[in-house]
Chain A
Amino acid sequence: MTKQTPTPTISSESNQRAVTTSGLGYQWPHSNVALQFPDITLKRGEHLFIKGPSGSGKSTLLSLLAGMLRPTSGTVSLLGEDITPFTNGQRDRFRADHMGVIFQQFNLVPYLTALGNVTLPCRLSTKRHQLAKPEPSQEAEELLAELAIPHSHWHQPVTRLSVGQQQRVAAARALIGHPELILADEPTSALDTDNRDRFIELLLTLAQRAGSSVIFVSHDQSLATHFDHELFLEAHP
């Protein structure tokens, strides 16, 4: 189902690209290891699986793509725009407008309800507020229903949710307002096999519908079957 991607015809070639990186490198402060990443080209609406052992720089790559870190070398282009020269503020805004992020665990703001967590991106970005149809709260409710979060939990503090439910709420937050990119950093590592497969199915189905590209990082090779493309990062010495 997710193997074939109906690519919409977009006039400009670069506009069709969700992600393009070239010669991307990063060196953490106080570290001797300079990480070097292979070039990535990903069309819009397509999904990428990034696999690699611990220490291969998976999370660093994701941070570079998210604009949380500025690369020491190379460039990152997202949606046809080179974000490398962006100021910190511009990158923050770009992330708010165009990206959804799912973490491994502890994805939710503890003092907001499930719905409050899901609608958070719409409060940080006018663009996503406008794209969430008809209203952020309604789209959030639809997403929560589709992700099988019981109605009774929507207005509850998120601390009462199970880990699986928390990850699904995080997926809803990443999906709301149809961002072009969804970055997922090992979001299934805390889930059992059943939950894990169900989570990926749902995430990819909904991302497909929203026209979002998912970049999914994991060390679990068995997940690769769900994705169009895969990238292997080698461990650094």
Chain B
Amino acid sequence: MKARLALSLAWASLWHRRRVLALVTLTLTLSVTLLLGVQYLRTEVRQSFTNTISGTDLIVGARSGQLNLLLYTVFHIGDATNNIRWSTYQGLTGDSRIDWTVPLSLGDSYRGHRVVGTDSGFIDHFRYGRDQALKLSNGQWFDDVFDVVLGADVARKNDHALGDKLILSHGGGRTSFSNHKDTPFTVTGILAPTGTPVDQAVYISLEGMEAMHIGWESGVAIPGRTVSPAQARERNLTPDAITAALVGIERKVMTFQVQRQINESRVEPLSAVLPGVALSELWRIMGQFERALLGITGFVVVISLIGLVAVLLTLQAQRSREIAILRATGASPGLVAALHVIECLFLAAIACLLALLLGSGGLTLLAPWLLEQYGIQINLRPLAAPEWIILGSVPVTAAVVGLIPALQSWRQSRRQGLSHNSGE
């Protein structure tokens, strides 16, 4: 009976002060959303990062840092410093310890998306997430020189269907002024969405890459030197160089040996990196930042809780009359203190609930944009243990915070007589 009374009084009191308290709750809601959001995104982004590539044992490119190599081959960020000669790549392919290789030839773009020159090995061997293979949602992998396969997002954003003709642009960037106008490509396949940067690229054959660059040796199209598709097919379209290669090792124990051998290659300066190691180095850099962010967000929550105490203590002064009435009517100081704690708990619970709604709503709206802009896939998932702990700690802290006015009014009501409210 007392508990019900306390609850209904607390509720009535909150409702009575709803205007002031709504603002406090809003501040608390926003800070909890921020804290929860940062923690949530941390794990999601990390998951998304580690999901971008799997099953590949080595990434081989021209000599550079492992981060750079990882970024331009897998994340399509930044550029290669140099190329690998075709003959060197052939050498890798011929190595008996190497199970498979996938060539990657980069440098061009289509409406801001990377153009990746590769071969059928890409669809056969590239894995992401938990060893998931790429699938085509429509059509088939390219076969002809002038076929192109689109990543899921490229097709969706540009509203492309099978059979569409595409003009690829020379060089990277969103708007390129030099287009490979003479050699249009036909869409033959569209990849199923993966939530990785794969969705953001278009895929053509190495031969296609070579064909569209005939007459472009100086970096721009030289009039009279470019060729029509039909003429191009006549030529030898074997490339001179590729940008990088993904390598699968037959026996995993050989990985380090192959890596060392490639790194020490005398044919040309090469780098071979382990994707997992490079990913975790990348994450270590990002991790510093995200930990700092989490710390800052924690402070935001603390600040808004302090704000809550400040408001409650201000309200306390106005409440002394009402508390005197309750005491005179026979309410124990315990009940009065419980009112304060219940009110705080209630506000915190509302803030948490709103934060959950706001967070999930925000993520739903933000996820497509993140995927599009940064290739980071954020899924709505049930909260994990650390997030529940964060969420749960908010009402607990609020209850502790509520003890401050509660104890104050307890002490006061034990000291004060009846006449407290008559203004004497």
Contacts and interface: CB of A to CB of B under 8 A. Distances in A.
Interface of A: 29, 59-60, 62-64, 66, 68-69, 88-89, 92-93, 95-97, 99, 101, 103-112, 116, 120-121, 123-126, 173, 183, 185-186
Contacts of A105: 421-423
Given A68-B328, A101-B418, A105-B421, 4 more contacts: A89-B334, A93-B330, A111-B16, A116-B12
Contacts of A99: 330
B285 interface: no
B321 A106 contact: yes
A111 B11 CA distance: 9
Interface string B306-345: 0000000000000001101111111111100000000000
B422 A185 contact: yes
B418 A63 contact: yes
Nearest to B418: A63
B267 interface: no
Nearest to A62: B418
B65 interface: no
A15 to B, nearest CB: 22
B424 interface: yes
B236 interface: no
B343 to A, nearest CB: 11
A109 B325 contact: yes
B95 to A, nearest CB: 81
Given A111-B12, A124-B5, A103 B422 contact: yes
Interface in B220-245: none
B257 interface: no
B330 A59 contact: no
A104 B333 CA distance: 22
Given A104-B422, A124-B5, A185-B418, A109 B326 contact: yes
Contact of B331 (A88, A107, A124): A124
Q: Which 3 A-B pairs have the closest CB atoms?
A: A96-B330, A63-B417, A111-B16
B421 A88 contact: no
Nearest to B323: A109
A101 B324 CA distance: 11
A65 to B, nearest CB: 9
Contacts of A60: 417, 419
Nearest to B413: A68
Contacts of B324: 103
Contacts of A95: 328-330
Nearest to A107: B325
B422 A123 contact: no
B251 interface: no
A55 B322 CA distance: 24
B415 interface: yes
B418 A121 contact: no
Contacts of A183: 418
Nearest to B422: A104
A8 to B, nearest CB: 25
B422 A173 contact: no
Interface string B4-38: 01000100110111000000000000000000000
A185 B332 contact: no
A125 B330 contact: yes
Contacts of A106: 321, 325, 421-422
Contacts of A64: 417
B1 A59 contact: no
Given A60-B417, A63-B419, A92 B325 contact: no
Contact of B421 (A63, A103, A111): A103
Contacts of A112: 9, 12
A110 to B, nearest CB: 6
B381 interface: no
Q: Most chain-A CB neighbours within 10 Å: which of B329, B330, B415, B417?
A: B330
23 contacts: A59-B417, A59-B422, A60-B417, A62-B418, A63-B419, A64-B417, A69-B417, A89-B334, A92-B327, A92-B331, A92-B333, A93-B332, A97-B330, A103-B418, A103-B419, A106-B321, A109-B9, A111-B16, A116-B12, A124-B331, A173-B329, A183-B418, A185-B419
A166 to B, nearest CB: 11
Nearest to A70: B414
A201 to B, nearest CB: 23
Contacts of A107: 325
Contacts of B325: 103, 106-109
Contacts of B321: 106
B328 to A, nearest CB: 4
A68 B422 contact: no
Given A103-B325, A106-B321, A124-B5, A89 B332 contact: yes
A96 B329 contact: yes
Given A106-B321, A124-B5, A59 B424 contact: yes
Contacts of B373: none
A103 B15 CA distance: 25
Contacts of B415: 29
Contacts of B330: 92-93, 95-97, 99, 121, 124-125
B218 interface: no
Q: Most chain-B CB neighbours within 10 Å: which of A68, A107, A112, A173?
A: A68
Given A63-B419, A68-B417, A106-B321, A120 B329 contact: yes
A61 to B, nearest CB: 9
B17 to A, nearest CB: 8
Interface string B403-423: 000000000001111110111
